[in-house]
């Protein structure tokens, strides 16, 4: 059996053709593909605006910047996520306040966040970053209510969940990143994600002012709009009007742009996104049925409506042995994630073992099984068989 990773991209001939067409066009960057991708993506998630970026980390950074995070601002997030969800707070000098997960959903536990918010005067915490971990959507309606009570903003880290959704209190389906509850949502187009662009990211929002701020921050803080210039026409070198070349850098921004050929790849992948989510759900269903009732699986939730299944995670007995055994069989599982608060960088801020029992217990047992649309039935059956064999020899 060829090597089976935990996740991988699917590049078709059509993807390649679209990228090549863009490479042959007039624009490698700052061309028309960016706006096309943004429009299609906004439509896909149901938001008003979308801003394409170099990667998901840049997207998170611009979110915290646009929301005005500054030195010492306290922002709450989960320890069970990729470090970037927390790091974006530090990029602006803010203080990362971790809060434990719900051991059933693996998502930020809203009741624990509420306790944290209740324990300090309003204004102590500036924002909350829930992560749609593994592709499971947070109840953002509930988070929005809580955030409003405590004067906090909300960033949805939806990197794992394009195509995911939850049902709100009125039973309406709310797509991840649709901007109905979170101020800003972010996505990543890293190859293991649902939509691969090599590297790439997107912010979605329904807030026009934030959208315009993000556009400016993406390109060095530069604007090209004569109605907003603060320098005079004369200083700009014109007589009656601003000269054609003129632009103003009004804020300290970055070059966080996506290229046009990456956007072309993203667009092409986006056209198959629903197909991919459907296949992921079928794979999840196969795993669920294969391991239902087995004593070695410590945590396997029922198939959850709206789960986008970026990852298929179970909690198991003898995790290290299983991980190593599967490697000898050419099956490369992964662990998502080492709790952020135990990373040496964050331990320097005083976080320590024992701070978040649910997250730490989850980390002891979790394992991500192969999950990607091109995983064949035969390959999945092989993975399932090897896991059963491993445990049947032990118990």
Ligand X SMILES: Cc1ncc(COP(=O)(O)O)c(C=O)c1O
Chain residues binding ligand X by CB under 6 A are: 55-57, 81-82, 84-85, 131, 157, 159-160, 188, 190, 201
C-beta atoms surrounding 180 within 10 Å: 15
Nearer to ligand X, 8 or 329 (CB): 8
Q: Least distance in Å: CB of 257 to ligand X? A: 14
Question: Of 253 and 390, which CB lies nearer to ligand X in the complex structure?
Answer: 253
Minimum distance from residue 128 beta carbon to ligand X (Å): 15
Is the Cα dihedral 213, 214, 215, 220 positive or negative? positive
**Phi and psi for 230 in degrees, rounded to 5?**
-105, -25
- Closest separation between CB of residue 54 and ligand X, Å? 8
CA dihedral sign, ordered 336, 341, 343, 345: positive
Burial 40-78 (b: 16+ CB within 10 A, else e): bbbebbbbebbbbbbbbbbbbbbbbbbbebeeebbbbbb
Question: How far is residue 185's CA from residue 175's CA, in Å, rounded to a whole number?
Answer: 11
| Residue among 84, 72, 136, 73 nearest 108 (CA) | 136
Distances in Å between the Cα of 388 and the Cα atoms of 313, 328, 380, 381 are 16, 15, 12, 10
* Tokens representing residue 63 in the block: 């979110």
Give the strand pairing for 312-316 and 297-299.
antiparallel
Closest by CA to 205, choosing from 223, 228, 187, 224, is 187
Q: Which is nearer to ligand X, 186 or 297 (CB)?
A: 186
To ligand X, the closest distance from the beta carbon of 82 in angstroms equals 4
Q: How far is the CB of 56 from ligand X (least distance, A)?
A: 2
Q: Name which of 190 and 257 has its Cβ closer to ligand X.
A: 190
Terminal Cα-to-Cα distance of the chain (whole angstroms):
26
Task: CB nearer to ligand X: give 188 or 262.
Answer: 188
Q: Which is nearer to ligand X, 179 or 201 (CB)?
A: 201
Q: Which among 219, 222, 185 has a CA at the least distance from the CA of 63?
A: 185
Q: How far is the CB of 84 from ligand X (least distance, A)?
A: 4
- If the CB atoms of residues 192 and 233 are measured against ligand X, the closer one turns out to be 192
- Residue (of 3, 371, 51, 92) closest to 211 by Cα position: 51
Residue nearer to ligand X on the CB measure, 84 or 316 = 84
d(CA 259, CA 252): 21
Residue nearest to ligand X according to CB distances in the complex:
56
CB of 198 to ligand X, least distance (A): 10
Q: Is 272 left (phi over 0), alpha (psi -120 to 50) or beta?
A: alpha
């Amino acid at each position: 059996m060829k090597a089976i990773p935990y996740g991988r991209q699917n590049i078709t001939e059509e993807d390649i053709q679209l990228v090549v067409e863009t490479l042959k066009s007039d624009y490698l960057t700052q061309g028309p593909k960016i706006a096309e991708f943004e429009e299609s993506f906004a439509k896909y998630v149901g938001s008003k605006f979308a801003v394409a970026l170099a990667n998901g980390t840049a997207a998170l950074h611009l979110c915290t910047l646009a929301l005005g995070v500054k030195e010492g601002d306290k922002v709450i997030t989960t320890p069970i996520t990729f470090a970037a969800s927390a790091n974006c707070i530090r990029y602006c000098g803010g203080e990362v306040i971790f809060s434990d997960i719900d051991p059933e959903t693996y998502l930020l536990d809203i009741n624990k966040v509420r306790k944290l918010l209740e324990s300090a005067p309003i204004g102590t915490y500036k924002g909350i970053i829930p992560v749609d971990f593994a592709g499971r959507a947070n109840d953002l309606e509930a988070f929005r209510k809580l955030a409003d009570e405590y004067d906090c903003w909300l960033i949805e880290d939806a990197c794992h969940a394009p195509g995911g959704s939850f049902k709100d209190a009125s039973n309406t389906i709310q797509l991840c990143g649709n901007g109905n509850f979170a101020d800003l949502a972010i996505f990543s187009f890293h190859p293991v994600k649902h939509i691969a662009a090599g590297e790439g990211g997107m912010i979605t929002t329904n807030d026009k002012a934030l959208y315009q701020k993000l556009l400016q921050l993406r390109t060095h803080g530069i604007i090209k709009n004569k109605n907003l210039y603060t320098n005079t026409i004369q200083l700009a070198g014109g007589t009656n009007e601003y000269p054609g070349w003129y632009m103003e850098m009004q804020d300290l921004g970055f070059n966080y742009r996506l290229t046009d050929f990456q956007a072309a790849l993203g667009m092409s992948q986006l056209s198959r996104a629903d197909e991919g989510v459907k296949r992921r759900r079928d794979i999840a269903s196969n795993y669920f049925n294969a391991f239902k009732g087995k004593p070695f699986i410590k945590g396997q939730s029922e198939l959850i409506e709206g789960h986008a299944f970026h990852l298929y995670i179970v909690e198991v007995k003898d995790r290290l042995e299983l991980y190593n055994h599967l490697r000898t069989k050419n099956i490369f599982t992964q662990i998502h994630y080492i709790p952020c608060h135990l990373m040496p960088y964050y331990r320097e801020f005083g976080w320590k073992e024992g701070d978040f029992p649910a997250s730490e217990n989850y980390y002891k047992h979790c394992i991500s099984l192969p999950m990607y649309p091109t995983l064949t039935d035969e390959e999945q059956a092989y993975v399932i068989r090897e896991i059963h064999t491993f445990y049947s020899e032990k118990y």
